[in-house]
Chain A
Amino acid sequence: MNDKLLTAYKIFPIFFVFLIIFFVFPKGVYSAGTSNFQLEIIPGYQCYDGQDNDNDGLVDYPDDPGCSGYTDNDETDAVAPYCGDGSCNNGENCSTCSADCGQCPSGGGGGGGVSLPATSVTFSGRAYPLSKVTVLKDGQKAVTTIAGPGAKFNTSITGLSAGNYIFSLYGEDNQDQRSTLFTFSVYITIGATTNITGIFIAPTINVDKKEVKRGDNIAIFGQSAPNSEIIISVNSDKEFFEKTQSDQNGVYLYNFDSSVLKKGNHYTKSKAAVDGKITSFGKTIGFLVGAKNIIKAVEESLKGDLSGDGRVNLIDFSIAAYWYKQTLSAKFASKEAQQLNSDGKIDLIDFSIMAFYWTG
């Protein structure tokens, strides 16, 4: 008996530690849609990458004599340059060394400019079938593309400088609903092509009722990639997870039985999984469980859209910036109450709300 008791006391702490680890620590690392893409950097040429590849203290063309041009992929100095070595470098030109640099042009006329390797980034992944996909570069629209019937898209941006960029992507579904932003930070290397693949934009979501009579169904619907598994979360004191499948057009619909919910405010959101890839949760939509059904009207104005043009971008930022730390006029205070946090002033919180609903 004592042996059994002792064994139990030995096992119990281990079990207790396991419980603590499982419940106290957060499950996984928080990400904002960044966990699903892959980044591949195709380096530029050695003679146009900003690096001293051969450690001779000289960097790239035309400074390093080992480089015959920007597209030379070997900075190594073979021998000391001289006129007649076949390389037009080391300060040689058509006048000083025609053997290496060729004869100088006889007439005027231009042409013959040096073409530099392009610095570019490509994006590919999944959105919704035939949806418009927009790419923002540092918060401003850079390029838009249309996804194919299978929801796959591919686009690129060229002519970039080297440096840190913040790219955001979003899709617009067949009801013109926008997804949340899929945002990530990338360092772009000069002369290199950066391929970002495996982007999977979160589903759009909406509900058919603003208020649902407790016990009736509320329709939760939206769009994602075709034939993907949609995981729907409905939040109350207890979180409910339901699953459904999107059809060949990526459309999904789930009738949620509100009888399991208490009266009051609730929220729902969804994510999609297909071919081993999974999105993060998208937009959160609120609804009320009450005593009657109220159909949801056409979408209310977008939060942060001070200009009323259906977008949240630099124009709205500029309107808010005009009133930043100023006493609001009665007219603008009313707008602030509807579109921002209704505290009667424009401060960092209002801009944070605007940044969340940003569309570019």
Chain B
Amino acid sequence: MIQIQQLKNCLAALLIIFAVFFTTAPVFAAEISLDSQNREIGIGSQFEVTVSLNTENEDINALEGKLFFSGNLLALKEIKDGGSIINFWMEEPKQTEKEIVFSGIVPGGYIGGSGRIFSAVFYAKKEGKGFIEIRNPKVLLNDGQGTETKTKTSILKIAISAKTPSVLPPEKKDIEPPEDFLPEITRDPSVFGNKWFLVFSTQDKESGINYYKVCEGKRKCVTAESPYLLKNQNLDEEIIVKAVDKSGNNKIVVLPPQKPKIWYENYLYLVILIAGVMPVYIIRKLWKKYFGKN
């Protein structure tokens, strides 16, 4: 009897182990999470929400999504993408109505538990309960085929109350300029009708890139996005590209003329030549006229 009981115990243990391992086998999935220091917020407060990626040990290289927030309670103050794991944005985090759309890539892939994507600073407009969540997330593996991996997200619930004191997030001064970068001039039949265009990209590890300015020769500098169609298709003038971060620090790169003008094509030299030769000619003529026949 005791032996049969022992046998039954063994079989029961075996069944439990079988159930545990086959019904709860781990499934790898990436996770895009939202994190904030503040969940209870006072009216008029500002708080920052960070969007992070946990790849759960998978190698990923592309992601996209939308950050949706309760627009009746919250107003978006600022988006910070400084220090992001995303090297190149197809859609830099930007507000469209009640959501922030974003998509970007990490060439070479990324594996990590808390990769910062970007953060958003919100302003609490009025009392109430609201939420912030990621919708339509897509995370792709670094496998050369763009295979999608399962992605988990979470909802960040917030409570805005008149009783909670109003606070502002601490300001961190960014004194570092953007990273070094090298713009390239190129052309392709499928872009801008095969005209010369400029490509450029850099990162700022703290406040994030605010804008780029491009100056071609003596033309007025313009705020520009990459790819940028060059106005001077002769490429015979210097091009200056300036990257400016959100604290006003900047990094300037100067590209020399790709096809410098031959000296006689430079009108300034022609003017100097003419201005130099004309007086000599006139003096010679006058000399001959007044002194030459005597």
Contact = CB atoms under 8 A, between A and B. Distances in A.
Interface string A18-37: 00110011000111101000
A32 B103 contact: no
Q: How large is the interface on B (under 10, 10 to 19, 20 to 34, 35 or more residues)?
A: 35 or more
B180 A355 contact: no
Contacts of B111: 30-32, 34, 185
Nearest to B175: A161
A355 B190 contact: no
B169 interface: no
22 contacts: A10-B10, A12-B14, A20-B21, A30-B111, A162-B205, A164-B85, A181-B108, A183-B108, A185-B111, A317-B105, A318-B227, A321-B227, A322-B190, A332-B190, A335-B190, A348-B140, A351-B103, A353-B144, A353-B145, A355-B108, A356-B109, A357-B144
A354 interface: yes
Interface of B: 3, 6-7, 10-11, 13-14, 17-18, 21-22, 25-26, 57-59, 61-64, 82-83, 85, 87-88, 90, 103, 105-112, 115-116, 138, 140-146, 176-177, 179-182, 184, 186, 188-192, 197, 199-201, 203, 205-206, 226-227
B61 to A, nearest CB: 4
A140 interface: yes
Contacts of B226: 314, 318, 321
A348 B144 contact: no
Contacts of A303: 144
Contacts of A321: 90, 226-227
Contact of B116 (A138, A164, A306): A164
Contacts of A349: 62, 140, 146
B62 A136 contact: no
Contacts of B141: 352
Given A331-B190, A348-B64, A352-B145, 16 more contacts: A2-B3, A9-B7, A30-B57, A32-B59, A138-B203, A161-B205, A166-B110, A168-B108, A307-B188, A314-B226, A317-B88, A319-B188, A319-B190, A324-B90, A349-B140, A356-B142
B249 to A, nearest CB: 10
A145 interface: no
A113 interface: no
A30 B58 CA distance: 7
Contact of B140 (A32, A139, A331, A352): A352
Interface hub of B88, B200, B201 (most chain A Cβ within 10 A) = B88
Given A9-B7, A163-B206, A168-B108, A356 B87 contact: no
A48 interface: no
A235 interface: no
Contacts, number: 180
A358 B106 CA distance: 10
Q: What 8 A-B pairs are tightest by C-beta distance, nearest first?
A: A163-B205, A349-B146, A183-B108, A358-B107, A168-B108, A352-B146, A352-B62, A139-B87
Nearest to B186: A315
Given A183-B108, A353-B145, A161 B88 contact: no
A341 interface: yes
A344 interface: no
Interface string A329-360: 10110010000010000001111111111101
Interface in A1-15: 2-3, 6, 9-10, 12-13
A358 B110 CA distance: 13
A190 B85 CA distance: 19
